[in-house]
Chain A
Amino acid sequence: MASIDEVKINVEKGKPKWVPDLVQKALDEGNKAGDILDVMVAGMGVVGERFSSGQIFVPEMLMAAKAMAKGVEVLKPHMADHASASLGICVIGTVKGDLHDIGKNLVAMMVESAGFTMVDLGVDVPVEKFIEAIKNNKDVKLVACSGLLTTTKPMMKNTVNTLKTSGLSGFKILVGGAPVTQEFADEIGADAYAEDAGSAAIKAKELVMAI
């Protein structure tokens, strides 16, 4: 089996110990860095589908994301223009009043693995901080808002509303979290809703392609 194929398989299996050497081997065999990155992104796509369908769980998905991150570290010096390989910047955060970061972190990893550069604002993020991040980073294509608590749904609504009326443009808004539904996302004017981290990565790509 060619090393580049092994890279994909070991990303899917979540083997951070093996992926860096396999990436190096694939480079040594003459594969282009961009092609190796593509197979890792494809591997993470498979991981996302398996997670969404309940075949794998949070630990397996995290290990896969870690494996990919380790592979990317090896690739970085070989990427002529790493930024150009990015689908753009995704600003992500859990909305103000909510300290939960599990779902937000999973989404960040999966969206990053799909090819975005992440700006993670953490938890308890006021809308002003989202706006500041959009202003301070060129090429923000996506803003992802997370929330676990029913009590912070009004804050998510406020965040989306403020971003939409801020005069800033060029980005789409993705929302998700336990109390969030497609209906709620539609009601507050978000551009998309994702049920889990795997589908968030797919939605993120779809949204950016549509810009």
Chain B
Amino acid sequence: MNRPKYDHVKEHEIIGIYPGAPSVEVGALKGFPDAPKFFRPIERRENFKMFFQDKTPYWQPTCGWLFCDVHPFRPRQQPDNFANRQPLDGGPAIDYKATGNTIKGWFDLDYQWEDTAGGSTVKPGLIKVPDINKWEEFISMPNLDDLDWNGVEKDNKVYLDHDKAIQLGIQFGMWERLMNIMGVSDAAMALIDEDQQDGVHRFFDRLADLYVDYIQRMYNIVRIDSVFFHDDWGTHTGPFFSLDTCLEMIVPYTKRVIDACHKLDIIVEHHCCGKADLLVPAMIEEGSDFWLPQPSLHDLDAMIEKYNGSYTFALGSPLLTADMSEEHVRKMAKEWFEKYKDKKVLLTANIDPNDEMDFMNFLIFDDAVYELSRLYYQDAE
């Protein structure tokens, strides 16, 4: 079937809204706003999926949290989402003054909000598991029957009722969860200490079971197109651990979670902050579908060339500052698209915290790339 030709007027027509998330707080952002829904020739999630099925998409797929083809979903009924002030859901606004700055997440962990950072962390100094070999004595696996699944379904009827790819967020992957329960230093040592590795394996094994079950149950009640698996493997200078350590200790378990996702036709984003390009082979081995490397820490062009399509990277847009004219931004968009149109990459807003990104200019950039890509791909089969 022939694709409809690009129609500038029709495809700038606002035909609805994508609901915002009033309760999320991240960085300086307090709540995500509603976003306009423009006419698209196919559903945005369909375009997103085509990209991962090695089909030519209708337009350049985009990812991220706002103004993209993905719609983040982190229901507050999962305690980690609530504790980290990241309920990306359709529930009512939460008064965090009333909840206080410390909220419990899974594994009975206290998460402390820090205003300056605009984020939460496990309360400094809190060590829940002093000996990973005996973790069962200190913590127990969350019981998923305790979650208010009816509440998830009820709160999110409108929030999830649209054409974007719904992306379920998992706040803490294997490594992050180990850090949370043990403290960073002890967790790092446990990964390579032969006297502790059995305990780590046993914990990760149960954790993988928990995540598989969580995703499956969520999938049973709401549409899930993608999973955002958050496991920061990098520091600002390099990976926390070696590739060998990662392959031996972590990948077998993330792979199990990702395999389960793929059986449900769910696309997995491995979210990883920090410099972690040395660990791309581990991301390939675990089977995750894409990763957004922090632009300022990586040579993205070199990575694209090195992996040559064997792994998908999401690229942050160039830095777009408020002083740039629309004409200049559209010129940058054209250069960007010409460079990457055949490289099988995703586009997202440059969100490096060190940069002064102007989101209004990103919307212009995104619009320009959409138009260019629609025209470029419109004659594909």
Contact surface of A with B, Cβ cutoff 8 Å: 14, 17, 54, 56-60, 62-63, 66, 97-103, 105-106, 109, 122-124, 148-152, 155, 177-179, 195-196
Decide if A99 touches B124 in the complex (CB within 8 Å). yes
CA distance A152 to B353 in the complex (A): 12
CA distance in complex: A177, B245 (Å)? 25
A107 smallest CB distance to B (angstroms): 12
| Minimal beta-carbon separation of A103 from chain B (angstroms) | 7
Closest Cβ neighbor of A17 among chain B residues = B195
Which positions 137-196 of chain B face chain A at CB distance < 8 Å?
184-185, 188-189, 191-193, 195
Say how far B272's CB is from chain A's closest CB, in angstroms. Answer: 15
Asked whether B118 lies within 8 Å of A62 as measured between CB atoms, the reply is: no
- B117 and A58 within 8 A (CB): no
> Taking the complex as formed, is B99 at the interface, i.e. its CB lies under 8 A from any CB of chain A?
no
Residue of A nearest to B239 (CB): A57
Bound-state CA distance A58–B239 (Å) is 8
How far is it, in angstroms, between the C-alpha of A63 and the C-alpha of B245 when the chains are bound? 14
Would A59 and B191 count as touching, CB distance under 8 A?
yes
13 pairs, A vs B, C-beta closer than 8 Å? A57-B238, A58-B240, A59-B188, A66-B189, A97-B114, A97-B116, A98-B114, A98-B116, A148-B236, A149-B116, A152-B116, A179-B353, A196-B237
Cβ-closest chain A residue relative to B118: A151
Q: How large is the interface on B (under 10, 10 to 19, 20 to 34, 35 or more residues)?
A: 20 to 34
Complex CA distance for A17 and B189, rounded to whole angstroms: 13
Q: Which residues of A contact B117 (CB under 8 A)?
A: 97-99, 149, 151-152
Q: Are A57 and B240 in contact, with the CB atoms below 8 A?
A: yes
A99→B238 contact, CB < 8 A = no
Question: Cβ of B195: which chain A residues have Cβ within 8 Å of it?
Answer: 17
Closest B residue, CB atoms, query A103: B235
Query: Contacts A57-B245, A196-B237: A62 and B112 contacting too (C-beta < 8 A)?
Result: no
- Closest-CB distance, A53 to chain B (whole angstroms): 10
Which chain A residues lie closer than 8 Å to B189 at the CB level?
59, 62-63, 66
Q: Does B242 contact A (CB under 8 A)?
A: yes
Task: Mark B89-123 against chain A: 1 for CB-CB distance below 8 A, else 0.
Answer: 00000000000000000000000101011100100
* Cross-chain contact A99 with B121 (CB below 8 angstroms): yes
Q: A63, A152, A178: which contacts B236 (Cβ < 8 A)?
A: A178
Tell me the chain B residues, 215-243 only, with Cβ under 8 Å from chain A: 235-242
What's the minimum C-beta distance from B373 to chain A, rounded to whole angstroms? 32
Distance between A25 CB and nearest chain B CB, rounded to angstroms: 21
Q: List residues of chain B with CB within 8 A of the CB of A152.
A: 116-117
Chain B neighbourhood of A148, CB < 8 A: 236
Whether B124 lies near A150 (C-beta < 8 A) is: no
In Å, the complex CA distance between A17 and B236 comes to 31
Are B238 and A151 in touch, CB under 8 angstroms? no
Residues of chain A within 8 A (CB-CB) of B235 are 58, 102-103, 178
Given contacts A102-B184, A149-B353, 6 further A-B contacts (CB under 8 A): A57-B241, A58-B188, A62-B188, A99-B124, A148-B236, A179-B354
- Contact between B192 and A59, CB atoms less than 8 A apart: yes
User: Contacting B241 at CB < 8 Å: which of A59, A98, A100, A196?
Assistant: A59
Q: What CA separation (Å) do A196 and B239 show in the bound complex?
A: 13
> What are the 4 A-B residue pairs with the smallest beta carbon separation, nearest first?
A97-B116, A178-B236, A59-B188, A59-B192
Taking CB atoms, residues of chain A closer than 8 Å to B354 are 150, 179
Complex CA distance for A206 and B233, rounded to whole angstroms: 32
Whole-angstrom CA separation of A178 from B275 in the bound complex: 11
* Distance to closest chain A CB from B243 (angstroms): 9
Task: Give B184 Cβ to nearest chain A Cβ, in Å.
Answer: 5
Cβ contacts under 8 Å, A62 to chain B: 185, 188-189
